[in-house]
Amino acid sequence: MLKKKKMKNKEKQIYNDDGHTIYNMDVEHLKNRRPKKITLNNKERFALIKAAFQRFLPILFGVILCFGIAMLLIYLWLN
């Protein structure tokens, strides 16, 4: 329950926890959210691996290139 307390022309509300639930946190549709086991043959598995490498290797090379450029600039600046 909220109680009002008067303080020099201002009303301050004090919250007392009485234990009732304001919002139900039970998420029933998320209980069994484990992904179903997918079976892939070797051709599909290698296609997935190839696609992952094609997606992430350019990003990896870009990060390595930026790191190398930063090291080169620090080397030139300190010498």
- Asked if pLDDT for residue 76 goes beyond 60, the answer is yes
pLDDT digits (tens, 9 = 90+) for 49-73: 999 999 999 999 999 999 999 999 9
Predicted confidence band of residue 45 (pLDDT cuts 50, 70, 90): very high
Question: Is the entire prediction scored with pTM above 0.75?
Answer: no
Cα–Cα distance, 22 to 78 (Å, whole number): 61
pLDDT digits (tens, 9 = 90+) for 11-44: 777 777 777 767 766 666 666 666 678 888 999 9
Whole-angstrom CA distances from 39 to 44, 45, 51, 64 are 10, 9, 18, 35
- Asked if pLDDT for residue 4 goes beyond 70, the answer is no
Cα–Cα distance, 70 to 77 (Å, whole number): 10
